[in-house]
A and B are shown apart, each in its own frame.
Chain A
Amino acid sequence: MGRIFGLYRHRTLIWSFVKRDLLARYKGSAVGLFWSVIHPLIMLGLYTFVFSTIMKVRVGASEGTEQFALYLLCGLLPWNAFAEGLNRSTGVIFENANLIKRNVFPSEILPVYPVIAGVVTELIGFAILVVALLLTGHPMRPVMLLLPVILLLQVVLTVGLAWIIAGTTVFIRDLGQMLGVMLTLGIFLTPIFYPPSVVPKGMQVLLTVNPMYALVEAYRSLILRGQLPALGDVALLASIGVVVFLVGYRVFTRMQPAFADVL
């Protein structure tokens, strides 16, 4: 247990990986980090066009905004960070095989850095969202100061899953393919492109066990509705997050000694 705090000890190391990761992503490109802004804007425009203009998905007062784009962005940003963290975690051990085989390297930090890098992209997106809120005259409310708490829960959940996935993929490489399918299912089964109210009554139960639903709803509640999120949702998210985090750490550190043999 105490070793989890080793993560804190390695914070400079984690941060240098994150920094390198972000810099490397846009290295050699003309506008650099600006792509982190352009890319989500284009996707936002596309999704808004498809779901709002063509498929006529409507959001209203119960969602806190009538602008579909704002509604979408609140769900899409955390989801993208989540999906990116998990997707990248499948390869992260292989990419750093060199470090693991030649050093007594704290490999438990490896699945953490893509998650943090995803969160950085998410924060850039949130900055765009705030600008958009101001432009549309949406009221800014003090509950938004609680956003970091939700963000922390998101990181805890994602890191826990990333550990499980990163460790397991070393032995079962098919997991990377399976994960792609799962994430595609996830983005459509979680109300991101549509409001939860359109989900048929019989299937609402699916939402109550989906921590990602609890997560995006918490974001929307704080940003769009200006209310505290439903306590039950946050409790669900927090308990699943902490359990997954602890189990993930245990699973990963159990597999860790064998990495150098298999890589």
Chain B
Amino acid sequence: MFAIEAQQLSKVYRIYANPKDRLKEFLTRGRRRYHQEFWALHDASFHVGGGSTLGLIGDNGAGKSTLLQLVAGVLRPSSGQVRTHGRVSTILELGTGFNPEFTGRENALMSGTIMGIPPKEMARRLPEIAAFAEIGDFIDRPVKLYSSGMYVRLAFAVVTSVDPDVLIIDEALSVGDQYFQKRCIDRIEAFRKAGKTILFCSHNLYQIRLIADEALWLKDGRIAEAGEASRVVGCYESYLREREIPRESTPAQDRGPTAFPWICRVQLSRDGDDTPQDQFVTGQDLTVTVEYEVPQPPTVVHVAVLIHRNDDVQIFATGTHVTDVSPPTCSGRVRLHFPRLALLAGKYDVSVSLLDEHGLHIYDRRPREFKFEMVHDMKALGLCYLEHHWEAEEAVAVNGTPAVVRPGQSRA
């Protein structure tokens, strides 16, 4: 059974230039339109299985908060529908809705009442809430006197103490100090283990990878990518990197017969398989095949291959001239094999150049024209996989004295 089900969920806001327009439109019963439409969320369908965690990522204004508010039931969808099963508990936009004049205690009781927990039951849970929030005496002071950290701590404590089936968290984890964040994550982990459903959004992609089973990438109100968390986060990261560098526009070159050698075909494929591919798996092989034409053989040519990540980080470059390989001096092809490609998930570009016998003059080049994507199913972050192993051992005690000396304690 799904804990959250959304079908073609859309939210459109009507923007009125001034309040009179709203009235005018109402009076003419919409025969004339006085508003502009803003689609905060467009046709989003997804579901979250009971007990799984969905992370929401995307740029600011991509519709993440709108989506969370729709699922929480604070906003009504303009079209489509969303269904949740069980008790839903939410922290939207930095803290739940507290009344600033009420004390922490009163607000906790109020939140409980809203979620259908009798005040007596909530009062019983208060000591635990206060302990988790670590706000001490402030529990009896108006919430308006709280620091933002205290506010969020209390909100998080209240929202998670009501034993929800579905927990919705909007950016709450980005507030508070490291220590509190750690405790929030611990609690979320405990929730996950207890089989609760969690829907949360964060700009901390590392957190998403770590906590979420699945992820949803929203872009301009639409779902750009959805599925397994690390893959979706990978796509989003690629998109972020790509957006950061201005695209190098490839000059429109005349391809075709010239007096000099030229590259006529480049292909990325797996060993022993001649079908072109654009997706490869970390640890498996990749072959770059470069075909070229030499109009006036024999001409000595060299082939250079350069791999970039899509944010312009140069990863590896090599050429036949630096490895003492002699490509055919007439039209022909060379193959470059990477037997165990260590690159981790992301998008990469291949540039190919055709050089003269010294490797100095460039006959022809195809900068960043060939793209491929890496995927991996292991737990690893970064650019490439480095061979490694771990060792762990306990501290060795010497003469009965602990090897670790605590401050204020001197070694005899």
Show the binding face of A for B, using Cβ within 8 Å. 10, 12-13, 16, 20, 24, 96, 98-106, 171-173, 257-258, 260-261
Query: Quick one: which of B93, B98, B114 contacts A104, CB cutoff 8 A?
Result: B114
B69: chain A residues within 8 A (beta carbon) = 101, 260
Whether B114 contacts A13 by the Cβ 8 Å rule is: yes
Whether A103 contacts B97 by the Cβ 8 Å rule is: yes
Known: A16-B109, A173-B19. A103 touches B102 (CB 8 A): no
B13: chain A residues within 8 A (beta carbon) = 261
Range of interface residues on chain B? 20 to 34
Whether B96 contacts A20 by the Cβ 8 Å rule is: no
Which residue from chain B places its CB closest to the CB of A97 in the assembled complex?
Answer: B97
Within 8 A of A (CB), among B56-101: 69, 72-76, 88, 90, 92-93, 95-101
A173: chain B residues within 8 A (beta carbon) = 19
B106 interface contact, C-beta 8 A: yes
Known: A260-B75, A261-B75. A98 touches B111 (CB 8 A): no
B328 interface contact, C-beta 8 A: no
Mask: chain B, 8-42; 1 = CB below 8 Å from A; 0 = not: 00000100000100110010000000000000000
Bound-state CA distance A102–B111 (Å) is: 11
Q: Could you list 15 examples of A-B contacts with CB < 8 Å?
A: A10-B113, A16-B110, A20-B99, A98-B99, A98-B100, A99-B97, A103-B111, A104-B90, A104-B114, A105-B97, A171-B23, A172-B19, A257-B76, A260-B76, A261-B13
Whether A172 contacts B23 by the Cβ 8 Å rule is: yes
Whether B119 contacts A12 by the Cβ 8 Å rule is: yes
Which residue from chain A places its CB closest to the CB of B100 in the assembled complex?
Answer: A98
| Minimum Cβ distance to chain A for residue B10 (Å) | 13
A103: chain B residues within 8 A (beta carbon) = 74, 90, 96-97, 111, 114
Which residue from chain B places its CB closest to the CB of A103 in the assembled complex?
Answer: B97
Whether A104 contacts B72 by the Cβ 8 Å rule is: yes
Q: Which 9 A-B pairs have the closest CB atoms?
A: A102-B97, A99-B97, A103-B97, A257-B76, A104-B73, A102-B92, A13-B113, A260-B75, A98-B97
Query: Quick one: which of A10, A13, A102 contacts B74, CB cutoff 8 A?
Result: A102
| Minimum Cβ distance to chain A for residue B95 (Å) | 7
Query: Quick one: which of A13, A102, A260 contacts B95, CB cutoff 8 A?
Result: A102
A24: chain B residues within 8 A (beta carbon) = 101
Whether B23 contacts A98 by the Cβ 8 Å rule is: no
Bound-state CA distance A254–B69 (Å) is: 19
Which residue from chain B places its CB closest to the CB of A173 in the assembled complex?
Answer: B19
Whether B99 contacts A100 by the Cβ 8 Å rule is: no
Query: Quick one: which of B97, B110, B111 contacts A101, CB cutoff 8 A?
Result: B97
Whether B93 contacts A102 by the Cβ 8 Å rule is: yes
B93: chain A residues within 8 A (beta carbon) = 101-102
Name, among A16, A100, A106, A257, the residue most crowded by chain B CB atoms within 10 Å (CB to CB).
A16
| Minimum Cβ distance to chain B for residue A8 (Å) | 13
Bound-state CA distance A231–B106 (Å) is: 44
Which residue from chain A places its CB closest to the CB of B11 in the assembled complex?
Answer: A261
